Amino acid sequence: MMSGTSTDGVDVALTRISGRGLDTNVHLLSFATYSFTPQMRHRILHLVSASTEEICEMNFILGEILANCALKLLPHAGYKPEQIDFIGSHGQTIYHLSGAAGRRNSTLQIGEGAIIAARTGVITVCDFRPADIAAGGTGAPLVPYADFVLFRKKGKVRALLNLGGIANVTIVPEKLDEVIAFDTGPGNMVLDGLVEIKYQGRKRWDVGGHIAARGKVDKSLFRDLMRHPYLKRQPPKSTGRETFGAAFVVDLWIKAQGMPFADLMATAAYFTAASIHRNFEKFIFPRFAVDEIFVSGGGWHNRTLMTFLASLFRPIPVCQLDELGMNGDAKEAVAFALLADATIQGLPASAPQATGAERPAILGKIIL
């Protein structure tokens, strides 16, 4: 189960897993996304600056929601809880500190695993990121190991680009110890935030990128956005709502006063695409000749964003992950099923070269 920085809802993937380590095989049996209510999404988005009391309570409330989502999917897929070996739940990230000057790398995901295990009766693996931080890493990204296991191909260098609230990329060459991965910056987060301000919560995103498609990129504002210091940071690096969330969006909204909203959305979409491309130019292309890029996550559905990406990366093909036989919307949930499987088997499933850790780590906490 996965709830990402977009806070759209909970992605639940039912998988059949066989094999071990790099020879693990994963077959997706069923997948669904269960949306948060507007009220719950509002509470989650405000956890970044919430009181300890609110965070404490929401940890258990989200645990109940996650358990209910798991129990909701199973009958539709023709399974009962007692047929399930384990649940891997990423939880909801509410704060992530990585590479901040004078601060310790740290992370906090909530959605109490003990509640999930109690309500479902299924062994639950949760809280995956702290083990990597304990080993000297940044705790993110965690999907590179799964990306390598699922999508490597002899003779190819593939880029797996996930467009959630934050955009992250995994470069998958032929050897695991050559994998690199990091967050490039915003994915859908800035675009969604602008829509929420404009429509005061009546709309949550620019469906299909239609608003941005009607606008023109404002060159002056675009140049200003591209000066963001995160784009210059060397990997390993990771980011989240604390950097590109509400404060960033409000500041952008103020800077763009008087600009047609379609132009603001076009500029934000182009900034999102260009920030991804800039990271490739600085940190990936000097090391790898990328053969193909496969995109997953909600951003794939934004046709304007995808058009910008295709134009910037040409002649490298930018394709939908579905072309590799994987539901692009389900990929991150599937990844945490695979990571939980490694945890149950006592196997490391991190990529130290991606997180900066001193050694591979066995990720997650097991609740019986």
Report the candidate in 150, 179, 178, 174 with the shortest Cα–Cα distance to residue 24: 150
Question: What domains lie within the chain, and their CATH numbers?
Answer: 9-138+330-367 (3.30.420.40), 144-324 (3.30.420.40)
- First CA to last CA distance, the chain: 17
- Inter-residue contact 265 to 210 (CB < 8 Å): no
Give the strands of the sheet with 158-163, arranged side by side.
180-186, 166-172, 158-163, 292-296, 318-320
- Give 251's contacts (C-beta < 8 A, 6+ positions apart): none
Task: Write the pLDDT tens digit of every residue in 284-306.
Answer: 999 999 999 999 988 999 999 99
Give the predicted TM-score (pTM) of the model. Answer: 0.90
Q: For the chain, 368 residues long, give each residue's pLDDT as a single digit of tens.
A: 999 777 889 999 999 999 999 999 999 999 999 999 999 999 998 998 999 999 999 999 999 999 999 999 999 999 999 999 999 999 999 998 887 889 999 999 999 999 999 999 999 999 999 999 999 999 988 999 999 999 999 999 999 999 999 999 999 999 988 999 999 999 999 999 999 999 987 888 899 999 999 999 999 999 999 999 999 999 989 888 889 999 999 999 999 999 999 999 999 999 999 999 999 999 999 999 999 999 998 899 999 999 999 999 999 999 999 999 999 999 999 999 999 999 999 999 999 988 999 999 999 999 99
Reduced to 3 states (helix: H, G, I; strand: E, B; else coil), residue 219 is helix
Q: Rounded to the nearest 5°, which phi and psi values hold at 313?
A: -95, -10
Return the bridge partners of 18, or none: 25
Q: For 301-353, how does the pLDDT look when each residue is reduced to its tens digit (9 = 90+)?
A: 999 999 999 999 999 999 999 999 999 999 999 999 999 999 999 999 999 98
- DSSP assignment of 33-78 equals EEEPPHHHHHHHHGGGG--HHHHHHHHHHHHHHHHHHHHHHHHHHT
Contacts for 44-50: CB closer than 8 Å, 24+ residues apart: 44/7, 44/92, 44/94, 45/7, 45/241, 45/245, 45/246, 47/92, 47/94, 47/95, 47/110, 48/94, 48/95, 48/241, 48/242, 48/245, 48/246, 50/94
Of 58, 34, 35, nearest to 48 by C-alpha is 58
Predicted local distance difference test score (pLDDT) of residue 101: 84
How many residues are given for the chain? 368
Longest dimension (CA), the chain: 58
Bridge partner residues of 211 (DSSP) = none
